[in-house]
Amino acid sequence: MILGSGDIGLIMARRLTLEGVEVVGVFEIMPYANGLNRNIVQCLHDFDIPLHLSTTIVEIHGAHRVDKVTVAPVNAALQPQLDRAWEVVCDTVLVAIGLIPENELSQQMRLRLDPVTRGPVVTSTMECTRDGVFACGNVVHIHDLVDFVSAEAALAGFSAGQYVNGTLPRPDNVRLQPGDNVAYCVPHTISTEREHTVYLRARRPLDACTLQLRDATGTRVYEKRLRYVFPAEMVNLRLRPAILQHFHGDVLRIDLIARVEA
């Protein structure tokens, strides 16, 4: 059995099946699968592997190796409902409940870490809280697509070159603050003078929603309609100086809000 329906759990379900293992099911504590839709279809549906949502493991049984597992549905507060628990016979449990950045080096360098991403806090040039230290990719936050890693890497490399040449742009003047339904955003600060790509993740899935930027007084600075947001799919937002030219202040809050269609 596999615990966790992120992309790795889903891909492992398919790989194990292809290697001749019977996967009895993927069990997910959230009420929705956390992997990309194409992986849900290609890794589970195509192989008839059941997906049990709002369900988690409460006990693993076995003396020398696993022989069964007790699972239970969870309520809205994610608490297992033990009176509705049931048993699954299996000999292996594969735990795939999330990736975190390798942050040993960041910790050794005493870089400030974001408690949500577990990676270093970075400016718009990908510089960390220590002068001349730049970071990019999965050490900063876990990416689902390597294309975004490449873009971040190009920016971090370019910025490190500017640092060496003494041509790094002026420090950022705006702090980004994750608001409604936003788990985190990277970078953590931006400059109103330059163009930026901001990456963020939703906390919960939403259909037809709006991404809004608001200043500290609550005034809307920018708005963008999105067809949907999903925690497994990083949202990327291109911010041009023209968008920010009327903005005054030093904090911008990012919200993802459900859209009520007329």
Ligand X SMILES: Cc1cc2nc3c(=O)[nH]c(=O)nc-3n(C[C@H](O)[C@H](O)[C@H](O)COP(=O)(O)OP(=O)(O)OC[C@H]3O[C@@H](n4cnc5c(N)ncnc54)[C@H](O)[C@@H]3O)c2cc1C
Identify which of residues 136 and 182 has a Cβ nearer to ligand X in the complex. Answer: 136
Q: Give the one residue of 3, 8, 44, 213 binding ligand X; rule: CB under 6 A.
A: 8
Q: Tell whether residue 145 is a contact of ligand X (CB under 6 A).
A: yes
Identify which of residues 89 and 105 has a Cβ nearer to ligand X in the complex. Answer: 105
- Answer for the pair 36, 60: CB distance below 8 angstroms, yes or no: no
Other beta carbons within 10 Å of 169: 13
Taking the C-alpha atoms of residue 108 and residue 126, their distance in angstroms, rounded to an integer, is 18
- Answer for the pair 162, 156: CB distance below 8 angstroms, yes or no: no
Taking the C-alpha atoms of residue 77 and residue 82, their distance in angstroms, rounded to an integer, is 14
Q: Give the one residue of 30, 53, 149, 226 binding ligand X; rule: CB under 6 A.
A: 149
Q: Give the one residue of 103, 138, 173, 210 binding ligand X; rule: CB under 6 A.
A: 138
- Answer for the pair 253, 217: CB distance below 8 angstroms, yes or no: no
Q: Give the one residue of 105, 109, 154, 216 binding ligand X; rule: CB under 6 A.
A: 105
Taking the C-alpha atoms of residue 223 and residue 172, their distance in angstroms, rounded to an integer, is 22
Q: Tell whether residue 100 is a contact of ligand X (CB under 6 A).
A: no
Q: Tell whether residue 188 is a contact of ligand X (CB under 6 A).
A: no
Q: Tell whether residue 137 is a contact of ligand X (CB under 6 A).
A: yes
Annotate each residue in 211-250 with x if it binds ligand X (CB under 6 A) or - if it does not, as one string.
----------------------------------------
**Shortest distance, position 114 Cβ to ligand X, whole Å:** 16
Stretch that binds ligand X, among 48-56, 84-92, 145-153, 235-243 (CB under 6 A): 145-153
Q: Give the count of residues interacting with ligand X (CB under 6 A).
A: 10
Stretch that binds ligand X, among 59-67, 136-144, 158-166, 203-211 (CB under 6 A): 136-144
**Which pair of structure tokens corresponds to residue 125?**
């040039």
Taking the C-alpha atoms of residue 52 and residue 72, their distance in angstroms, rounded to an integer, is 10
Taking the C-alpha atoms of residue 101 and residue 141, their distance in angstroms, rounded to an integer, is 6
Rg of the chain over all Cα atoms, to the nearest angstrom? 21
Where on the chain is the footprint of ligand X (CB under 6 A)? 8, 11, 102, 105, 137-138, 143, 145-146, 149
